[in-house]
Amino acid sequence: MTSGQERVQAMAADAAARFEAVYGGPPALIVRAPGRVNLIGEHTDYNGLPVLPFAIEQSHYLAAGEGSGPRIEIANADPQYAAATIDVEALDAFAPPGSWENYTRAALLGLCETSVLPSHLLERGLRVLVGSDLPSGVGLSSSSALVVGFAVAALAVNQIDADRQRLAEVLAEAEQHVGTRGGGMDQAACLLGRQGHALKIDFFPLEVDPVRFGGPGCLPVLISDSGVRVEKSGAGRMLYNRRPIECRLALALFQRWARRFGHAEFGAARHWGDLVKPPFELPHAGVLALIEESIKQPWYSIHDLCDHLAMREQDLRERYLRIGADEYLLEPADGFRLQQRAQHVISEGWRVEEAALALRSGDWPRLAELLEASHASCRDLYEISCPEVERLVGAALEAGALASRLTGAGFGGCVLHLVSVARFERFRDTMERLLGPMAAPVLARPAAGAEILALTRPAA
């Protein structure tokens, strides 16, 4: 057994023992739901442009079994997440934003709303105990892994075999119930991850293309934690949500402009990515040129937007700024930064295509160049970096990384480093010397997606 497999077994056994201690009997099964590292393609997913993540070994371990009536009981090995009981009849009675039980609610609600799980089956109830070696709030997608873990556990306990691709789409939609306008990358990486591969994922519709990455000949990826925790469903929610909203507003301005100039057909694009796909198939550089033509101001106030889109303020708020039942995005103090957001997503989409080619041909200098350009764009155009992340990136480059960039939603969290095999040990040591043991980078290996583990009983 490899050390990785031993770790999986130990984590699973620990979750099973805790389940038994909490619920008084053994679980029916254990689900491993991994986090992910995104190599490149940040904030492109909800814009219909591709991403290139891989599932990692760090995972949640959900020990699960049938319940005792129409309630979902959840408990967590980490004492900061209090045990909770959810009434099956009131799945949509979400707790305040940031509460971990909301991920259970979102997952199960999504399954029932789409009939992937017939709701009457939930009447039997469900018990889950979550153990984990996947830290939260560090950009490794621990929240989506939890949503996936709950969904896979609920389906497995009820012996339902759902198509993984469909499940990824359903759960991406379902996670919006927690009040974050995320895309579909995390759920897809968690469900469809393949050992030794990155996944080039496209959206609307979801398409997954595994690219070999890992093993001999491949450069190692390491991650280190900036120490800044931003929970996408908590404090980071509005920082995150502002971006998808700005992208939609930017697209609306572009379409309005296009119509004025006799290109009403672009009005059919639902996402920025549609413009580079059939039937339009514009080159990325062409779209960038059009963005410069059509979205000229460095920033827009609500008043400007109403003017350009010929809308009343109330309608604009309803159509674009609404986040939840009674929640709206406020006008940012620095205005809506539409041109630069659109420039980032289009150029980032192109970089993903190029990075997948570089990965397939083992062209590491090219990959490094693209990762670097991605980081600069995330920092300067999408404005999702922060001083602590910049410090890590700077230290990594000084320590000899070929490239270093933030990964995931941004605003803190983890930074990934691409390092040559020859420099690997020296890189780790130098990073530790520069930043202290807390920031020491760890290897991120491309691992398999969510799986149901056999329970190995200790020998009698």
Residues that bind ligand GLA (CB under 6 A): 38, 42-43, 45-46, 141, 182-183, 185-186, 408-409
CB 74 within 8 A of CB 27: no
* Least distance in angstroms from the C-beta of 50 to ligand GLA: 11
Nearer to ligand GLA (CB atom), residue 36 or residue 308: 36
> Among all chains, which residue has been given the structure tokens 């053994």?
26
Task: Compute the C-alpha angle 11/20/100, nearest 5°.
Answer: 65
* Least distance in angstroms from the C-beta of 373 to ligand GLA: 16
How crowded is residue 198: how many other Cβ atoms within 10 Å of its Cβ?
A: 30
Side-chain half-sphere of 347: how many Cα atoms within 13 Å?
23
* Least distance in angstroms from the C-beta of 229 to ligand GLA: 14
Nearer to ligand GLA (CB atom), residue 73 or residue 186: 186
Nearer to ligand GLA (CB atom), residue 27 or residue 244: 244
Nearer to ligand GLA (CB atom), residue 46 or residue 336: 46
How crowded is residue 181: how many other Cβ atoms within 10 Å of its Cβ?
A: 18
Beta strands in 271-418, from DSSP E residues, in sequence order: 322-324, 327-328, 403-406, 414-418
- Residue 310 to residue 442: CA distance in whole angstroms: 52
Of 158, 135, 9, the closest CA to residue 81 belongs to 135
Nearer to ligand GLA (CB atom), residue 65 or residue 137: 137
Task: Compute the C-alpha angle 18/20/25, nearest 5°.
Answer: 170
Nearer to ligand GLA (CB atom), residue 70 or residue 98: 98
* Least distance in angstroms from the C-beta of 4 to ligand GLA: 24
- Residue 143 to residue 173: CA distance in whole angstroms: 14
What is each CA distance from 404 to 57, 89, 153, 376, 399, in whole angstroms? 20, 47, 36, 10, 11
What is each CA distance from 3 to 9, 10, 90, 177, 342, in whole angstroms? 10, 10, 43, 37, 44
* Least distance in angstroms from the C-beta of 154 to ligand GLA: 21
* Least distance in angstroms from the C-beta of 295 to ligand GLA: 21
Nearer to ligand GLA (CB atom), residue 211 or residue 406: 406
> What amino acid occupies position 277?
K
* Least distance in angstroms from the C-beta of 384 to ligand GLA: 8
* Least distance in angstroms from the C-beta of 185 to ligand GLA: 5
- Residue 245 to residue 448: CA distance in whole angstroms: 33
Nearer to ligand GLA (CB atom), residue 15 or residue 384: 384
